[in-house]
Amino acid sequence: MSHKLADLMKKMQKEHGPGSFKVASDTDPYCPRIPTGIFSLDYAMGGGIPIGRTSMFYGKRSAGKSAACAKTAANAQRLCRKCYGRVITQDKEVTVERKTVDLITGKMQVTEEKIVKKIPVDCVNKCRVVVEGKKVFPGRMQVIWVDAEGTFTPDFYMKFGVDCDDLMLATPDYGEAAVDMVDSAIRLRAVDLIIVDSIAHLTPLKEREGSTEDSLVAVQARLVNRAMRQWTSSLNEVESNKENDCAILLVNQIREKMGGFYTAEVRPGGMGQAFATSLDIHLWQKDFKYDSTGRPLWMTSKFIVEKNRVSVPKMEGTYRMCLLDHPGRLAGDTWDDEAVADAVLDRGFATFDDKGGVAVIGRMFASSDEFRAEIAKREDFYYEAREAVLNFMIYQPSDGKLAEKKKKGDKDSKDDKDEPKEE
């Protein structure tokens, strides 16, 4: 570097802050992530929601957008704020009130019961930060949920593992208030994940206070575009100061726009959001499975990573999400233990001997069934296997061979072709 450029860099850093003008190679090559807790989705995204960037889940109604955000929020609440490592938890008995329905009288009643609740104790990496001269555990990630739709129900989100006692909820009256709330939270540098649900319901103040007869062309698009610019600027400012950065996760919907002889799917809020996000994930329903009484046990969702500026784009896959508690599964479960076990056994992570034994990550099991049972039973072993598989699958180079095309009359190819249009 020449002396003139070195002098310019010092001048810019003095005027605009440290890190605002630097050599490109000084930037951290690895983008930290917040895993969603859905194995197939994390693999397709490259590890999870990127920190310091804006991401978006979008799709038609009941596509699983808010549920995926709830899983992400619950997973973030398990991570250390300093190293993004898993937080060690300890069990604690607390008394809570539950509202239940008396099956005989049909009336709602409030009962008190003791439940076992997990609270954060320490980081697996023994992280410490200095607070008032003392080294203390920095705590788990802090999450803010911006409920623009006004539909947040704690009981529903607790099924997905969200700790509502440690979740901040923002309920703005209009769109400009939501923009200011998110911007203030970013600049606070004490929040790790901000979820905005949803962009489609950010109502401009002009529209809220005006008459229904007023012509307000593109007023919401201008509001959303302004929000994207303002939040991106605040994220860049935090990054330049080397403070705790946060991830922004947006939820948006899909509407049909009539134009001539054709229909087009558009996202409310204009086109600016598609350019401002680093990660765009399209979700839609694929299938439901019902029990003998006709109640849905689980939903299968399909996704496509339409845009990804931190990993490989156009990845796609499916996952199942449990909707009702039933033997062996709880509501919000996504069968990740089975998916990780399948990936370990099918992608060369395991070695088999003549007697049917399986060696995985330095451990020996009598059979593959014993290995699956261990992954489902031991949480620490599950996370160890999960991270090993993700690191290998994400950074593994391609073999250069093209995937085989499905036959023209293949039923699966027809279903896949029609699925994005389903609601």
Q: Given this model, what pLDDT does residue 322 score?
A: 93
The H-or-E segment that residue 363 falls in is strand 363-365
- CB crowding 286-303: b at 16 or more within 10 Å, else e: beeeeeeeeeebbbebbb
Q: How far apart are CA 37 and CA 178, in angstroms?
A: 27
pTM: 0.87
CATH of domain 29-79+141-324: 3.40.50.300
- Confidence at 406, pLDDT banded by 50, 70, 90: low
Judge contact between 229 and 221, C-beta under 8 A: no
Mean pLDDT value across residues 277-302 = 92
The confidence score (pLDDT) of residue 241 equals 59
Percent of the chain's residues with pLDDT above 90: 47
CA distances to 4, 158, 204, 359 from 364, rounded to whole Å, are 61, 36, 60, 4
| Nearest CA among 280, 285, 210 for reference residue 249 | 280
Return the pLDDT at 422.
46
Report the CATH fold assignment for 335-396: Rec A Protein; domain 2 (3.30.250)
Q: Give 330-362 pLDDT, tens digit per residue.
A: 889 999 999 999 988 887 788 888 888 888 877
Query: Across the chain, what does the average pLDDT equal?
Result: 86
pLDDT of residue 238: 67
Going from N- to C-terminal start, the domains of the chain cover 29-79+141-324, 335-396
Same fold, 29-79+141-324 and 335-396: no
